[in-house]
Chains A and B, each alone.
Chain A
Amino acid sequence: MANEILTKITRSLVECEPDETEALTKQALTTGVEPLVIINEGLVPGMEIVGQKFQSGEYFLPQMVIAANAMQQAMELLEPELQARQQVSESAGTVVIGTVKGDIHEIGKSLVATMMSAHGFRVHDVGVDVDVETFVHKVKETGANLVGLSALLTTTMTAQRKVIQALEEAGIRDQVKVLVGGAPVTQEWAETIGADGYAEDVVGAVDLSKRLIG
């Protein structure tokens, strides 16, 4: 019975039926399946299959994002249950992510945030046009070990360097790995400004994050 419903949860993610994922997660809880089991044997395998299908070219970004949103929605149902049991889901890491000051480009940053969240990271998305202080404050507040900085303009790329400098000045640079991304950003730029890594796409950003803090 438990196995059957877990398989259905996995399938609902793969088939992009978010309402189904939500209903099945609720149903699993009421029938007494442990939340950690729902996560590890229902949701996570689903996201893995979706990721594989994306990389093989069968799936596209909409399926990835819909599945990731469904996963997040299910996690919202499961978090209180985990807390009640004094359990925590396995976290891949905590990330503060945003688009730097002067830049209002949202898509790339949000895609990365969504996918990292779906891959088990605790994501604090601070939005777009974010000033240096907000990044520093959020890292302190959340104890994050990753910072993601997006910039889509050559004129705002320089703000990525400013955030890194501010993290140094605040004495928390060693606590975090800094990832940079965005259309004009290159590996060379990442090295120039002392970032820890650069990824050119969403899948690359998730892989790199796992590598950097793994």
Chain B
Amino acid sequence: MRPQFKILSDDLVERIIAEGFELLQDPGVRVHNSEALDLLADAGADVDFDSQIAYIPREIIERALETAPSDFHLYDLGGESVVHYGGDSVQFDPGSAAITVLDSDTKEQRAPVTEDFVKFVKLVETLPQIDAQSTAFICTDVPEEIGDLYRLYLALNYMRKPIVTGAFRKDTWWTMKDMLVAVAGGEAELAEKPIAIFDVCPSPPLLWSDLTCQNMIDCARHGIPSELVSMPLAGATAPVTVAGAVVQHAAECMSGVTICQLAQEGAPIVWGGSPAAFDMREGTTPMGAVGTWMIDTSYTEVGKALGLPTHAYLGMSDAKVVDAQCGLESAGGTLLAALAGVNMVSGAGMMDFESCQSYEKLVIDAEIIGMAKRLIAGVEARDEPIALDLMRSLGHRADYLGQLHTAKWFGKEQYIPSEVIDRGSLDAWKKKGAMTTWERARDRVAALLPTYEPSPMPDDMRSEIRSITQTAAQSFGMDELPPLPEA
């Protein structure tokens, strides 16, 4: 039996979904994208083109929820299926689009550049606990107009794992698509075995901006999966109650699934989000608040009830340094996400809300993720009888260490952490330099990076994506891309 976290009664799930349907009819959803408005109108929704509001009848949404696939896979660059969106599969990727990186030497946040991004991608490759890459932060050494596609370009050069990404503009999506097509070997091949998923974010309350709506439609039409990132801010841009915020989330996501399915029936789309319980003193968006975790796990249950794959931003911290708060918040969110069966949990490495990425936090989070994955693997009998024969054979002797039974099972029963987690004796700890978690994490980063194995991408493919990126860079005034750091 797999341990599971349930937070909503069946009755509450039904009421949330029912209110979501109601909201899309009154007050409707704002859609600042003409193509989506046309799709909705053609499907029979009542569309006010002047105010750009769509009033969507329940039947249209229900049909979209039917045609949206309940599961799909992401593939690594070798063509292996390594991420399963659907059921109770649980996978992790780093938090995306941070604006700073925590400098390992100064412990200060600073503007990230190409070298930082590549180091981060390599580190993710070396961490088996982390299932997918993400376009984790925004490099400041290229024009901001290509900030989104440049991240993907860098990642593709160094990664094997699939990637969670997103576009910041309508036109850059096409450049990113071209890169993915080049790497997958064709549009059909990319649709058959997607290597990337795009985050698409409605704005609370009940708004689809032109950009993100177009990204979602373009993804759908090319068979590229998209991931809804609805972000009700409970008490500020959404009702303050957990259930109320989840109603808003449901309505936003249902409108997204509807637009996506109207663009292309059967296109893969994920019920996801990055909500927060608004901090009533600081006016901030705490990702480490228990209220935030409750909204995330609640909407995950709603998504599962509707038969859709799920995603959540969990496992982050609001702390500004890698300290006790950082650890406790990241662990709390990660464990809950795993227990709730969130298919893709984004957040590893991320801190200071969603502002900063840290290499050291990433390797600590990898340990938390390792523990969480062990937890949800659950308790099994392993043997029949469970222990009777073994314990009778040993009688009252405490001699289990030398038993074959122990050798056979300990690797499966226990999650064995790296040296980031200290479990030595006091003396041993002192002899090793009496290091804090931060210091051990820094050593671990340094130890892992040399183990990175360069991606086997052929040279002609590398030059093709470089040329695609170079063309985009040139149209925004950058003649030559920064050189790629050595693999």
- Residues of chain B contacted by A62 (CB below 8 angstroms): 235, 280
Contact of B99 among A61, A158, A184, A202 (CB under 8 A): A184
5 tightest Cβ-Cβ pairs between the two chains A and B:
A60-B280, A154-B99, A61-B280, A107-B236, A155-B144
Complex: chain B residue closest to A54, CB-CB: B281
Contact of A108 among B147, B168, B283 (CB under 8 A): B283
24 contacts between A and B (CB under 8 A): A60-B281, A61-B278, A61-B280, A61-B281, A61-B283, A62-B280, A104-B203, A106-B237, A107-B236, A107-B237, A154-B99, A154-B138, A154-B144, A155-B144, A155-B147, A155-B168, A158-B144, A183-B353, A183-B355, A184-B99, A184-B355, A201-B282, A201-B283, A202-B283
Given contacts A154-B99, A155-B147, 15 further A-B pairs with CB under 8 A are: A60-B281, A61-B281, A62-B280, A104-B209, A107-B236, A107-B237, A107-B283, A108-B283, A154-B144, A155-B144, A155-B168, A158-B144, A183-B353, A184-B99, A184-B355
Q: Most chain-B Cβ atoms within 10 A of its Cβ — which of A158, A183, A184?
A: A183
- Residues of chain A contacted by B282 (CB below 8 angstroms): 201
Interface of A is mostly: helix
The docked-state distance in angstroms from the alpha carbon of A201 to that of B279 is 13
Interface flag for B102 (CB, 8 Å):
no
Complex: chain B residue closest to A60, CB-CB: B280
Size range of the interface on B?
A: 10 to 19
Q: Are B280 and A57 in contact (CB under 8 A)?
A: no
The docked-state distance in angstroms from the alpha carbon of A183 to that of B109 is 14
Interface flag for A36 (CB, 8 Å):
no
Residues of chain B in range 279-301 having any CB-CB distance to chain A below 8 Å:
280-283
Q: Are B281 and A57 in contact (CB under 8 A)?
A: yes
Residues of chain B in range 249-306 having any CB-CB distance to chain A below 8 Å:
278, 280-283
The docked-state distance in angstroms from the alpha carbon of A158 to that of B283 is 23
Interface flag for A193 (CB, 8 Å):
no
Residues of chain A in range 60-82 having any CB-CB distance to chain B below 8 Å:
60-62
The docked-state distance in angstroms from the alpha carbon of A202 to that of B235 is 17
Interface flag for B233 (CB, 8 Å):
yes
Interface flag for A172 (CB, 8 Å):
no
Residues of chain B in range 320-357 having any CB-CB distance to chain A below 8 Å:
353, 355
Complex: chain B residue closest to A183, CB-CB: B355
Q: Bits for B67-103, please: 1 = Cβ < 8 Å to A, else 0.
A: 0000000000000000000000000000000010000
The docked-state distance in angstroms from the alpha carbon of A108 to that of B235 is 13
Residues of chain A in range 180-214 having any CB-CB distance to chain B below 8 Å:
183-184, 201-202
- Residues of chain A contacted by B278 (CB below 8 angstroms): 61
Interface of B is mostly: loop
Q: Bits for A139-161, please: 1 = Cβ < 8 Å to B, else 0.
A: 00000000000000011001000
Residues of chain B in range 126-164 having any CB-CB distance to chain A below 8 Å:
138, 144, 147
Complex: chain A residue closest to B168, CB-CB: A155
Complex: chain A residue closest to B233, CB-CB: A107
Q: Most chain-A Cβ atoms within 10 A of its Cβ — which of B99, B203, B278, B355?
A: B99
- Residues of chain A contacted by B209 (CB below 8 angstroms): 104
- Residues of chain A contacted by B233 (CB below 8 angstroms): 107
Q: Bits for B167-189, please: 1 = Cβ < 8 Å to A, else 0.
A: 01000000000000000000000
Residues of chain B in range 342-376 having any CB-CB distance to chain A below 8 Å:
353, 355
The docked-state distance in angstroms from the alpha carbon of A65 to that of B144 is 36
- Residues of chain B contacted by A158 (CB below 8 angstroms): 144
Complex: chain A residue closest to B282, CB-CB: A201
The docked-state distance in angstroms from the alpha carbon of A111 to that of B144 is 29
A64 to chain B, nearest CB (A): 10
Complex: chain B residue closest to A112, CB-CB: B283
Residues of chain A in range 34-60 having any CB-CB distance to chain B below 8 Å:
57, 60
- Residues of chain B contacted by A108 (CB below 8 angstroms): 283
The docked-state distance in angstroms from the alpha carbon of A200 to that of B281 is 13
Q: Bits for B233-250, please: 1 = Cβ < 8 Å to A, else 0.
A: 101110000000000000
The docked-state distance in angstroms from the alpha carbon of A111 to that of B233 is 15
- Residues of chain A contacted by B281 (CB below 8 angstroms): 57, 60-61
The docked-state distance in angstroms from the alpha carbon of A201 to that of B280 is 12
The docked-state distance in angstroms from the alpha carbon of A187 to that of B97 is 23
B108 to chain A, nearest CB (A): 12
Residues of chain A in range 16-49 having any CB-CB distance to chain B below 8 Å:
none
Q: Are A111 and B99 in contact (CB under 8 A)?
A: no
The docked-state distance in angstroms from the alpha carbon of A201 to that of B99 is 20
The docked-state distance in angstroms from the alpha carbon of A62 to that of B235 is 9
Q: Most chain-B Cβ atoms within 10 A of its Cβ — which of A106, A111, A154?
A: A154
A175 to chain B, nearest CB (A): 30
- Residues of chain B contacted by A155 (CB below 8 angstroms): 144, 147, 168
- Residues of chain B contacted by A106 (CB below 8 angstroms): 237
The docked-state distance in angstroms from the alpha carbon of A155 to that of B143 is 10
The docked-state distance in angstroms from the alpha carbon of A108 to that of B283 is 8
A151 to chain B, nearest CB (A): 12
Q: Bits for B203-224, please: 1 = Cβ < 8 Å to A, else 0.
A: 1000001000000000000000
The docked-state distance in angstroms from the alpha carbon of A108 to that of B355 is 17
- Residues of chain A contacted by B138 (CB below 8 angstroms): 154
A153 to chain B, nearest CB (A): 8
- Residues of chain A contacted by B147 (CB below 8 angstroms): 155
Q: Most chain-A Cβ atoms within 10 A of its Cβ — which of B138, B236, B282?
A: B236
The docked-state distance in angstroms from the alpha carbon of A55 to that of B168 is 38
Residues of chain A in range 86-144 having any CB-CB distance to chain B below 8 Å:
104, 106-108, 111
